[in-house]
A and B are shown apart, each in its own frame.
Chain A
Amino acid sequence: MNEFVYLKDVVTLRLDQEKCVGCGICVTVCPHAVLRPVDGGRKIGGSLEAGRKVEIGDRDACMECGACSRNCPVKAVTVSTGVGCAAAVINSFFGRKNASCCCTIEPNGTSGDEVECSSGTDRPACC
């Protein structure tokens, strides 16, 4: 999987281990296995072993999709989410919302809500 790692030391993923209740949902939803049980503990029955919290493994593999923060029931994981799409950044720079890419990026958003969409577009994975 580490065939693909993007830029170093740039992602906004944060974990407050004090708050973590060890439910393991973030481990489940992360598409790049960035979050993992502490000590590499095995998942049992959909949740972590009692008392076992999660930790951030390979931070640079995070793509800021926000699945972890969206699903964390205690807000222990936070990340400034957005679509890593250059066309969307260009569109937002020009204030376009209906341009060639369906994604635009709203300033100052911190949840998935900042990515706004319109139809009439071109991009495959970015939309």
Chain B
Amino acid sequence: MPRISPFLSRADRWGSYKARWGIDRMNYRVDPGLYAVGNPDDKAPVLVTANYKMTFDRLREALPGRNAWILVLDTRGINVWCAAGKGTFGTDELVSRIESSGLSRIVSHRELTLPQLAGPGVAAHLIKKASGFKVIYGPIRATDLPAFLDAGCKAAPDMRLKTFKAWERSVLIPVELVGALKIALVVMPPVFVIDAFWRAGGSLFVGLSHGLWSVLAILTAIVAGAVLAPLLLPWLPGRAFSFKGLVIGAAAALVFAILRQIAAGWPDRLQVAAWFLLIPAFSAYLAMNFTGSSTYTSLSGVRREMRRAVPLQIGAGILGLGLWLGSHLL
């Protein structure tokens, strides 16, 4: 039986940091099975969790000075909530893991504490029927576990509500940024080349300057849609994420145009119009994709939002691209 520490090492923190940037994130796992924290006896609580290492670390670092069993399910390296949504943190996996770990011989009681967000995957009444263990849904956040256990497994009302505060949103930004930059890396070289060598009108310096401004325009859209939209989410107008992204994208396009005016003079009108279409459209798309990282969007809602937003994004994209290419011909 592996005994684990409730204290994280530098390597653990570095691993979490890398995963936040999407580096090797899908292979950041611990082995499924039973672990001990402290010196648990047969009456110690059994805490069930996922085998995403970041999840596992969040749980154990909440348990200094406590004795508990940790039962890690095989969720293929995915966190509790998402794994529950897909069913890998599910009834079947839990029942078979109880069996394979020999849990019923190790503890004398018949209770399991699950994170509340396992709910979408686990049917508590079926666990009881299949294994004899009673499921107790604990708090959403691991940091609330000590208070929950001390209160005799009673959750205060706020422990049951999934929040989406500024810091909870901001830790998601790196992965959003990495995803957006992957798109940008494909788009930026041709844009830069077209600008720098086609528009130039002979002057290499003028051409390069145009190319750099276009690259800057794309980065502006990414900052708006993948950084500012998540951060400012509750304060941006509208309910649909794509609309929020459109608003912040339009604001960013304005700032971009003003900066360009100050730094390099007003470019031709066609190009300004193009960026006023392209930046908000790309920003709206990126913000729309943040629905997948948010904690309160429904699939029905996302589908409704996309039915209206995606055609507009595509339309604005094509029109913007046409104007941008056209501006090179005039």
Contact = CB atoms under 8 A, between A and B. Distances in A.
Interface of A: 1, 3-8, 10-12, 25, 28-33, 61-68, 70-71, 73, 80-90, 100-103, 105, 112-113, 115-117, 119-127
Interface of A is mostly: loop
Contact of A33 (B79, B161, B301): B161
A89 B296 contact: no
Size category of the B interface is 35 or more
Given A100-B179, A125-B172, A64 B119 contact: no
Contact of A29 (B137, B234, B300): B137
A119 B76 contact: yes
B140 interface: yes
B22 interface: yes
Contact of A7 (B81, B239, B289): B239
Interface in B135-190: 137, 140, 155, 157, 160-164, 172, 175, 178-179, 182
Interface of B: 22, 25-26, 76-79, 81-82, 84-88, 90, 116-117, 119-125, 137, 140, 155, 157, 160-164, 172, 175, 178-179, 182, 233-234, 239-241, 288-289, 291-306
Contacts of A119: 26, 76-77
A66 B120 contact: yes
B137 A28 contact: yes
A47 to B, nearest CB: 12
Contacts, number: 194
A10 B306 CA distance: 13
A90 B299 CA distance: 12
Contacts of B164: 3-4
Nearest to A127: B82
B299 A64 contact: yes
A121 B296 CA distance: 21
A96 B190 CA distance: 27
B286 to A, nearest CB: 10
B306 A125 contact: no
